[in-house]
Amino acid sequence: MTKTATNGVIALVAIAVLAVGGYYLFGHKAPNSGDMTPKEGVVSQADLSQATASLKSAVEAAGGAPYDFNGQPTYGSYANFGIVQQVNEVKSVGLVDEMAIKFTGKTDNEYAEVDPKTNQVIAFHREVDYTGNAKTSAELENLVRAFLAKVYPNFAQVEPTLTFENNSKTGRPEGSNYFFTWNDMDYASQLPNGAEAERAPFIQVGITSNGYIFSYNNTIDLYRNALKEFSVTQ
């Protein structure tokens, strides 16, 4: 390489160094791991911490067994939420974001879901416990309503728009399970043409005959917030 060419290379390197130095000198900080955009599908530690706090509060409000769930590092889909549009007889396309923060327990029957947008607990399920004396259906309903007042403060306002069901599963030697359910039967009529909900929005609390709350589902706000998104995009 000639002397002239060598000097030219040195000059180019010097210009590059000055450009990079100037970039950070005039208000641009060097990137670090905390500044990097999170990987797609990965739950941030801040979001996971907030979701964990919400779930722990809901489980403590239910009483009984202590909190024992583990948050998952990546987002998952909701078990009872989804709005789709049928493309043909066998194919459908999802129309809403179904990104949930998922939790698992010690057994396959124990899991939970939290909405990362609102930190609202969408569901939790845990093993049943039949310890204690049996209660009447009215007593169980009072326990369920007291629980809902704690975990879903809007329940009293929303309840008049829902249809109530009270179902029980008997025949177990150890005890019975009751399911208090409120369904939004008018939701489908509010969807855009061609859109279908995978399941009607609902609130459901599963409780044993002795008053142990072992399951909770609430997709009311998920579905109703989806309607607001449709109104914005259409």
Model confidence at 29: pLDDT above 50? no
Same domain as 172, residue 67:
yes
Q: In whole angstroms, how far apart are CA 77 and each of 97, 115, 183, 203?
A: 9, 10, 21, 18
Of the candidate ranges 94-103, 120-129, 200-209, the one whose mean pLDDT is the lowest: 94-103
Q: What's the mean pLDDT in 123-147?
A: 95
Number of separate domains in the chain:
2
The tens digit of pLDDT for each residue in 2-28 reads 545 445 544 444 444 444 444 333 343
Pair (2, 94) in one structural domain? no
Same domain (yes/no): 224, 113: yes
Query: Directed axis angle between helix 137-151 and helix 45-62, to 10°?
Result: 150
Tell whether the model's pLDDT for residue 157 goes beyond 90.
yes
Same domain, 11 and 68: no
Closest by CA to 142, choosing from 203, 211, 233, is: 211
Inter-residue contact 116 to 152 (CB < 8 Å): no
Are residues 3 and 72 located together in one domain of the fold?
Answer: no
Please give the backbone phi and psi of residue 170, each rounded to the nearest 5 degrees, phi first. Answer: -105, -175
Which range of residues forms the domain containing residue 31? 1-36
Are 49 and 32 contained in the same domain?
Answer: no
Same domain (yes/no): 104, 206 = yes
More confident residue, 9 or 144: 144
* Segment among 10-24, 65-79, 100-114, 212-226 with least mean pLDDT: 10-24
Residues of the chain with pLDDT > 70: what percent?
78
Is residue 63's pLDDT more than 90? yes
Is residue 76's pLDDT more than 70? yes
133: left (phi over 0), alpha (psi -120 to 50) or beta: beta
Rounded mean pLDDT, 125-149: 95
Are 55 and 157 part of one and the same domain? yes
CA distance 208 to 214: 7
| 94 and 5 in a common domain | no
**What is the mean pLDDT of the segment spanning 129-154?**
96
Q: Three-state SS for 63?
A: coil
21 with 117, same domain: the answer is: no
User: Measured at the alpha carbon of residue 165, what is the angle toward residues 226 and 135, in degrees to the nearest 5?
Assistant: 125
Instruction: Please tell me whether residues 65 and 89 are part of one structural domain.
Output: yes
Clarify whether residues 113 and 154 are in a common domain.
yes
For residue 133, pLDDT over 60 is answered with: yes
Tokens 């025949």 correspond to: 171
Residue 208's φ and ψ, nearest 5 degrees, are: -80, 165
Sheet with 213-218: list strands edge to edge. Answer: 70-71, 101-104, 111-114, 121-125, 213-218, 202-208, 177-183, 163-169
Residue 37, pLDDT above cutoff 50: no
Stated as kind and residue range, the H or E segment containing 169 is: strand 163-169
pLDDT score for 31? 35
Annotate 75-122 with three-state secondary structure. CECCCCCCEEEECCCCCEEECCCCCEEEEECCCCCCEEEECCCCCCEE
Instruction: For residues 214 and 126, give the distance between their C-alpha atoms in angstroms, rounded to a whole number.
Output: 5
This prediction has a pTM of 0.79
Tally the residues of the chain.
234
